[in-house]
């Protein structure tokens, strides 16, 4: 049995881990939603690891994810995305627990126009993106054993995400205007869980495989937001027309990278498995009853 902690358990990624890491598969899961653990509570983090000394992995799904609101609340972004993961990492270091945390394609935001590798230049723009990068630094500098998965355009059941927004709006609107000048890869929470489970399996099976450091992970392929919406509507037979707009005309408060494709060779080679395409992932998500 592999004892694991999940924090941020009621977010969309947290819910996916809770659903898919089961007792039958050899995991014993201790989960904490925001009401049970505020990740800015350093004392409680330490107490949890003292009372659960057998824990091997801490999967932190909690974060301040309000990208636009972060522009006017930099203190929250700093507390929850930088200081808090630093507290978890320090406690993990003390307890000999491996920390798994999540970062964003937004940390790259450079001028390169080919799939971005983990060691490419990082030029995060905007408060959220900078806080995610600083959170990575806080974890790495703690000295804790850790894995950071940089992912993009995440969606899954029970989440506030683009796919669920399109499914809701497409049923009540005849027409939507969607940004078409950002290129990226939508990523399904269930596939992130698959990747993390596979990394843990590599780690616990021992040998020379190591899961330390930063890994990119996104579903394979590329798409713009407007074409992603068109695909969602086509698969669900939703009749809602789309016109393409620009990032500038849309005018969100926080900057968005125009190019966000992640080179996922590092994780793909380690796991020795192809990563499912975003189209395949979307079809699996839309087939679920509980999206
Ligand atoms: N969503 C994306 O497109 C995307 C893309 C790249 C990377 N990521 C990263 O992936 C990870 C998971 O994101 P997600 O999509 O699952 O986001 P999410 O659905 O917004 O979940 C985040 C969860 O963290 C909780 N939380 C916030 N502050 C907390 C605190 N102080 N203590 C405990 N819990 C707290 C939130 O609770 P409340 O709802 O009550 O605030 C929410 O349940 C994050 O690290 C995020 O930065 C996400």
The 10s digit of each residue's pLDDT in 6-50 is 999 999 999 999 999 977 789 999 999 999 999 999 999 999 999
pLDDT for the residue 53: 82
Mean pLDDT of the chain: 95
Q: Are 88 and 141 in contact (CB under 8 A)?
A: no
Q: How is 95-161 classified by DSSP, letter by letter? A: HTPEEEEEEEGGGT--S--SPBPTTS-----SHHHHHHHHHHHHHHHHT--EEEEEE-SEE-TT--S
Is ligand 1 within 6 A of the CB of residue 155? Answer: no
Run of H or E residues at 197: helix 189-204
Q: Give CA–CA dist 229/249, Å, rounded.
A: 18
- C-alpha 12 to ligand 1 mean position (Å): 7
Q: How is 52-95 classified by DSSP, letter by letter? A: -TT--EEEE------TTGGGT-HHHHHIIIIIHHHHHHHHHHHH
Is the pLDDT score of 153 beyond 90?
yes
State whether CATH 3.90.650.10 applies to domain 2-159+185-219+261-276: no
Q: Does residue 141 or residue 53 have the better pLDDT? A: 141
Is ligand 1 within 6 A of the CB of residue 31? Answer: no
Mean pLDDT for the stretch of residues 253-282: 96
pLDDT for the residue 25: 83
Question: Residues 58-89: pLDDT tens digits?
Answer: 999 999 999 999 999 999 999 999 999 999 99
Is ligand 1 within 6 A of the CB of residue 61? Answer: yes
Q: Give CA–CA dist 41/108, Å, rounded.
A: 29
pLDDT for the residue 289: 64
Instruction: Using the atom order of ligand 1, give the atom closest to the CA of residue 102.
Output: 45
Look at residue 224 and give its three-state secondary structure.
strand
Q: Give CA–CA dist 19/22, Å, rounded.
A: 7
Is the pLDDT score of 196 beyond 70?
yes
Q: Give CA–CA dist 28/55, Å, rounded.
A: 9
Q: Which of 128, 155, 188, 259 is catalytic?
A: 128
Closest to 65 measured CA to CA, from 111, 10, 145:
10
Q: Give CA–CA dist 87/37, Å, rounded.
A: 13
Is ligand 1 within 6 A of the CB of residue 196? Answer: no
pLDDT for the residue 185: 98
Is the pLDDT score of 288 beyond 90?
no
Is the pLDDT score of 290 beyond 60?
no
Closest to 31 measured CA to CA, from 85, 20, 40, 150:
20
30 as an active site residue: the answer is no
């Amino acid at each position: 049995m592999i004892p694991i902690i999940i924090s941020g358990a009621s977010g969309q990624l947290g819910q996916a881990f809770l659903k898919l890491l089961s007792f039958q598969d050899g995991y014993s899961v201790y989960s904490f939603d925001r009401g049970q653990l505020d990740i800015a509570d350093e004392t409680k983090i330490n107490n949890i690891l003292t009372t659960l000394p057998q824990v091997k992995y801490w999967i932190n799904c909690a974060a301040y994810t309000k990208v636009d609101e972060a522009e006017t609340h930099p203190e929250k972004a700093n507390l929850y995305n930088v200081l808090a993961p630093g507290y978890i990492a320090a406690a993990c270091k003390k307890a000999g627990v491996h920390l798994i945390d999540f970062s964003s394609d937004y940390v790259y935001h450079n001028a390169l126009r080919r799939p971005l590798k983990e060691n490419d230049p990082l030029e995060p723009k905007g408060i959220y993106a900078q806080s995610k990068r600083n959170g990575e630094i806080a974890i790495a500098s703690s000295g804790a054993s850790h894995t950071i998965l940089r992912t993009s355009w995440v969606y899954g059941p029970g989440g506030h995400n683009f796919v669920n927004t399109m499914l809701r709006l497409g049923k009540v609107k005849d027409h939507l205007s969607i940004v078409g000048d950002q290129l990226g890869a939508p990523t399904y929470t269930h596939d992130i869980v698959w990747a993390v489970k596979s990394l843990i399996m590599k780690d616990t099976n021992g040998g020379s495989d190591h899961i330390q450091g930063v890994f990119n992970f996104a579903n394979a392929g590329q798409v713009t937001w407007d074409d992603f919406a068109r695909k969602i509507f086509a698969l669900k037979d939703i009749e809602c027309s789309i016109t393409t707009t620009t990032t500038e005309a849309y005018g969100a408060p926080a900057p968005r990278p125009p190019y966000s494709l992640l080179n996922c060779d590092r994780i793909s080679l380690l796991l020795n498995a192809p990563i499912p395409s975003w189209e395949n992932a979307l079809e699996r998500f839309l087939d679920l009853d509980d999206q």
